[in-house]
Structure 1
């Protein structure tokens, strides 16, 4: 399992910004929040005493789905299941690279049943290379494919041993990163990939969410990464989705949006405040189906 590479992944920021940004069409899996609620607390964002407007959550999710479709992306939808209020967070259901699927195994008992519903969806939709994990991993919540390496988070949810399992199942090099701030309990709350094309890999992240050693690894691999402010991290601004040009962000992440626009990206702002009551944002609702 890789922990570092010999050379930086991305080109310098000035060269990146000068090159035209071109989107690539993506295929996503989403789950409508028809059963969304906050009835338990498994992360610091969740407070069952705060009222949840379920109709508003559905409206915000629908607007997110329609934003992807307007950008030319394909959105597949899985049927939500009663009793699984967090099933809306499809990113946690697995990791798909080149058509290979590593399923999820959740740490919290409240979410455990989601894994098999998603497993069946993969098999029913022509994904034949589907492996369910033996170690706890929460899918793209803690795995981020950069196009060259799989960045893998641990510290709160996914087991460190799951990183080696992901490398074996998906056949890609894995770089382990340790999260240290419980507010950023998944990797996708503190980091996301802006561009995954060869020679143009670029990420954005919040350094304070990571251990000192992990920060140094990210600095070496991505010396010109976009670094988010505490304010943008605090609204889950790093829970974004990019197609290489268009970057879908929470509407509150204005500073991050300005940084991305300066580099030639096109921010697409969405309101997903209701789902944030469960610690989710655009990426949490979105699993990318690669290959």
Structure 2
């Protein structure tokens, strides 16, 4: 039986969301974005979390930072310790100090401003045994060493090779962090990284290219409910077969910037015990 565990999430409303520049293959500034619809879809995701018994904290958005809605990129929190982000692209640089200020204002005492480029939970995925870490497009391999030293967890470096899957969270999702269960799209990774994933997670759910291409891996699980993009229809039955309950969510406006459920959701993992 799958058991949901209450989570605490940090989200940021898309008050200033636009696609005004291009820093990944999904972004096209010539395509219009509906800000009202984007906010409605974001609020629906927030309300679904709360209806499932999770706590949602809100980070105030800042003008001039249209991608701040993607709160997963602002910091990584493990055992109550906060590793901030250092963005690869100058368009997002100012998001990092806004996140760190939020944590410091709320009493988090172990907060580290990173030395090396990392885009937080965009490229870090937490399981019971490992910190899975993406590289190849955004986060530096040096950030993997930095995260291992800070969190005291073994880091598994994974090489992303398809620019559409520029962050780890577009190609891999943790389904049950306590049991080291994941789903991923093999085509997003280098041959060596595919071999590592197959060795560590022999029973992983493998996504098709069709589901990956609609950001189906950009999902959030509480151990039972898996919130994922509505268009990723091919993942629903495989998830049900494993005892999970898929919860389709429409974030089509945010997809225009290359983000979906996970991108909007930073998990605030408490200290052990």
TM-score (norm 2): 0.98
SS at match of 1:285: coil
In the alignment, what sits opposite 1:90?
Answer: 71
In the alignment, what sits opposite 1:180?
Answer: 161
1:170 Cα shift? 1.2
Structure 2 CA distance for aligned equivalents of residues 41 and 204 of structure 1: 28
SS at match of 1:284: coil
Structure 2 CA distance for aligned equivalents of residues 102 and 132 of structure 1: 6
1:183 Cα shift? 0.1
- Partner residue of 1:53 out of 29, 34, 50: 34
1:148 Cα shift? 1.3
In the alignment, what sits opposite 1:220?
Answer: 199
Structure 1 CA distance for aligned equivalents of residues 267 and 30 of structure 2: 33
In the alignment, what sits opposite 2:80?
Answer: 99
- Partner residue of 1:263 out of 242, 246, 250: 242
1:46 Cα shift? 0.2
- Partner residue of 2:95 out of 93, 114, 123: 114
- Partner residue of 2:128 out of 139, 144, 147: 147
In the alignment, what sits opposite 1:246?
Answer: 225
In the alignment, what sits opposite 2:113?
Answer: 132
In the alignment, what sits opposite 2:143?
Answer: 162
1:258 Cα shift? 1.3
SS at match of 1:165: helix
SS at match of 1:133: coil
SS at match of 1:127: coil
Show structure 2 runs of 5+ residues with no match: none
SS at match of 1:168: helix
1:126 Cα shift? 1.5
Structure 1 CA distance for aligned equivalents of residues 92 and 176 of structure 2: 31
Moved over 6 A (4+): none
Structure 1 CA distance for aligned equivalents of residues 243 and 43 of structure 2: 27
In the alignment, what sits opposite 1:14?
Answer: none
1:281 aligns with 2:270: no
Structure 2 CA distance for aligned equivalents of residues 148 and 70 of structure 1: 29
In the alignment, what sits opposite 2:190?
Answer: 211
